Structure 1
């Protein structure tokens, strides 16, 4: 049974809490984001809260409602600031957490069967994706967060729409390491694949972004979302393995049936050695090149 993509961010929370070996991968960045989150929350309450409340009161909004709405706005603004800070910090640490999750999940074989990339190409790709493209992607995510911030003024529906819009780039950012380093994709191929599967990416991303908007707790959810992304990939990988094994089994059964049918229809000759030679030749031709070769995930799959 295939799990819904939207459940993986939640699965990531429980998996992260149940595997202490993953905590060490996030200890340093978590302390940094925790300190930054507390500072941003305090500053928002000290400076932005009265500023927004007085602005609403001057716009003839009831004082009690102005302060209530301002508190909600401040919490969202602090969460968005934390997300932006995390988006800048995460490329440095998320790959290590992603890989550690795969190994904790028992998927060490993925590191052996991944597409081998030429050393020079990998170096250039690492420079391009790690220092240029990832930061461009981060800036794009920040820009989308800023542009969709006014949607939060609409209760519930506006926040849900903002999460949906931000979901696709957020999910792509969580999986870009896998596309480049495991599947050997170029950046353009990764983007094309992400867009072709945008419904699944948005389903995952909308929940992930919603969790990252929860004040203070988002400092943990930002990391558990990466764990959830790794769990998604691990499940897809195992499902692909089962499908390939099933195809191989069916192919072997078909080949065996073909060889058996040919043996029954073959007329015996006076020389048994000749019969054996003919049958062996036929069998080798039938089986030659029939086994599908797989050195990782298919280019159009996971």
Structure 2
């Protein structure tokens, strides 16, 4: 039995190593940072955020203040049974995560869902992906990507489902494990965040559920490595609203790069075939 356990452990470790290597090779973990840089250097992309800034900041401050005032002390007392002195720090991350989840549910469903959609589409337009955006919304002429956005066919961003909420609370007990458990909690959240950040891209590509699942499965390591830093950024109190927009920009930049790679690769193959024919 002990040999079997060791064998399973080795297989799991090897699989984790392969996924980690795939994640590093993909470079997707850089896109949340690229999203910040691109957003800050393209002022035209600020419009959707500016229009929603005041009510969203008020909501974020209210939720975070409420959660720390009413839930921090009870939770730190409970976690101290498992984490000892480290509970002071792990509980901060836990309350921030809880606040971020509640804020995300409320803001993305009632305040900023349209603004995030416009941010994603306008970023694609700024990267010359007009044909892609045109599959699901009208695109006007002009130089300002946000002003070019016309009527949309349907809203793509996934609302926070009861299943997602249940899954979130199932992961919460991981925080009872000092340090490692909190890291695992963030990683699991990041695994789900990655694909959801591309929900608009899947719609623009007009993928059905099977195609979307296959697409995600082939890139599951890349989506996880995008999701983890993105989740950490959105955990920052109040500033998390800004990072929700920069993460959306980063996801759009990644989608634009995917589109360029998908069109460049066939062209390279065609050029190689033509070169071979000429050589003959």
* TM-score normalised by L of structure 2: 0.72
Name the residue aligned to 1:173.
196
Is 1:205 aligned to residue 234 of structure 2?
A: no
After superposition, the Cα gap between the structure-2 partners of 1:205 and 1:190, relative to the gap in structure 1 and judged at 3 Å, is: same
SS in 2 for 1:215: coil
> Following TM superposition, by how much is the alpha carbon of 1:155 offset from its aligned partner in structure 2, in angstroms?
4.0
Larger radius of gyration: 1
User: Which of 83, 96, 99 lines up with 2:121 in the alignment?
Assistant: 99
Structure 1 residue 219 displacement after superposition: 1.6
Residue aligning to 2:180: 157
Contact 1:98/1:226, CA 8 A, preserved across alignment: yes
Checking the alignment, whether the CA contact within 8 Å between 1:167 and 1:209 is kept in structure 2 is yes
- Specify the SS of the correspondent of 2:207: coil
Q: State the match for 1:31 in structure 2.
A: 54
Matches within 5 A, 1:113-132: 130=156
Q: 1:197 to 1:108 in 2, by over 3 A?
A: same
Q: CA deviation at 1:41?
A: 1.8
Map 1:236-251 to 2 at 5 A.
236-251=258-273
8 Å Cα contact 2:90-2:179 kept in structure 1:
no
Match of 1:19 in 2: 42
Aligned match for 1:79, one of 100, 106, 109: 100
Find the aligned partners of 1:205 and 1:66 in 2 and give their Cα distance: 25
SS, match of residue 180 in structure 1 = helix
What does residue 165 of structure 2 align with?
142
**Aligned CA distance change for structure 1 residues 53 and 109 (closer, same or farther; 3 Å):** closer
Shift of 1:48: 1.9
Distance apart, 1:39 and its partner CA: 0.5
* Alpha-carbon distance, 1:186 to partner: 1.2
Tell me, in whole angstroms, the C-alpha distance in 2 between the residues paired with 1:52 and 1:111.
Answer: 45
Aligned-residue offset at 1:75: 3.5
Give the direction of change, closer, same or farther, for the CA distance of 1:230–1:54 in structure 2 (3 Å limit): closer
Shift of the alpha carbon at 1:40? 1.0
Identify the residue that residue 186 of structure 1 maps to in structure 2. Answer: 208
Root-mean-square deviation (CA, aligned residues, Å) is: 3.4
Q: Kindly tell me: are residues 94 and 73 of structure 1, through their superposed partners in 2, closer, same or farther at Cα, counting changes over 3 Å?
A: closer
Number of positions where the alignment pairs a residue of Structure 1 with one of Structure 2: 241
Q: Residue 70 of structure 1: CA displacement? A: 5.3
CA–CA separation in structure 2 for the residues paired with 1:215 and 1:87: 16
Structure 1 residue 198 displacement after superposition: 1.0
Give the TM-score taking structure 1 as reference length.
0.67
State the alpha-carbon separation in 2 of the partners of residues 72 and 169 from structure 1: 18
**Structure 2: runs of 5+ lacking an equivalent:** 1-24, 138-152
| Residues in 2 aligned to 1:11 and 1:155: alpha-carbon distance in whole angstroms | 32
Q: Once the 2 structures are TM-superposed, how far is the Cα of residue 192 of structure 1 from its aligned partner?
A: 2.7
Distance in 1 (CA, whole Å) between partners of 2:259 and 2:97 is: 36
Q: Secondary structure in 2 aligned to 1:134?
A: coil
Distance of 1:45 and 1:164 partners within structure 2 = 23
